[in-house]
Amino acid sequence: MISRPHSVTNLLRACAIFVALAIPASLGAAQSASSAATPTQSSPAPSSTPQVTGAPAAKAERICLKTEVEFARNHDQTKAWNGFVAANQADPSYAPAWFNLAVMLENQKQWMQAQDDFNRYLKLAPKGPDAARAHEQAVLLNKYISGDMTPEDIKRVDYDAAIQRARALMSAGFNREAIADAGQAQALDSSRWEAYAVVSLCMLRQHKLGEAATMRDRAVEHAPADKREQVRAALSPEAKATGEAQK
């Protein structure tokens, strides 16, 4: 799923420190839509959307958003793949479509193709919101290709991918789906703070202050010592109120 350009909620604007501290990660890159076989096991990770201009790009964005939301609800991987391919066909220069296809291909262990297409994303959006992540993952894929990935490496990147999806779903207003992806991340590694922070933000948005406070405390507990106060402030009801006042 693709985050809507320039429409991140005021809550997330108020909690900018959380967005900056989170580690948005997703493995993969897109193989050519015309030549790739349909994957059977994959988990598309949402990427942020650069500013969309023109009818083809707008159509591609709509398809990507709809596809990721539907995947979060029904986990139909074939439909997700077909949706991202359709977005790619709507506008082959729309970088986020490649980014999302990439995740599915990477999960299919098509390492070299994934690496090539991370570079395709970078060529299309060298200064895009996911450019740094795409570069990191293209480099990381060298470890897959060479067989040097450890179980801890794999757990880390899977966690980061789940957080990436959760953040994008949350920014589009799909709190239930965001919480589900955050839960997947927490199941992978309960010692990290980002999953608790996502759930806390979602609870704040739903005015469930007790649950939000519980998740906030867990996020703070697991955050790096030098970031704990920043995380606490970003997840506070006061931060939410500030964001709403800026609407």
pLDDT digits (tens, 9 = 90+) for 47-83: 444 444 568 889 998 998 888 888 877 778 889 889 9
Instruction: Compare 208 and 132 and report the one with higher pLDDT.
Output: 208
Average pLDDT on 150-158 reads 86
Q: What would the pLDDT profile of 98-145 be if each residue is shown by its tens digit? A: 887 787 777 777 888 888 888 888 899 999 888 887 888 888 888 888
Locate tokens 């867990």: which residue? 218
Whether this prediction's pTM lies above 0.85 is answered by no
Q: Could you state, in order of their start, the residue ranges of all structural domains in the chain?
A: 10-245
Report how far residue 136's alpha carbon sits from residue 161's, in angstroms, rounded to the nearest whole number. 13
Give the per-residue pLDDT at 240.
57
If one counts every other C-beta atom within 10 angstroms of the C-beta of residue 48, the result is 22
Contact present, 240 and 23 (Cβ < 8 Å)? no
Residue 110 makes CB contacts below 8 A (sequence gap 6+) with 31
The alpha carbons of the chain give a radius of gyration, in whole angstroms, of 17
Of the listed ranges 4-18, 137-151, 199-213, 224-238, the one predicted with least confidence: 4-18
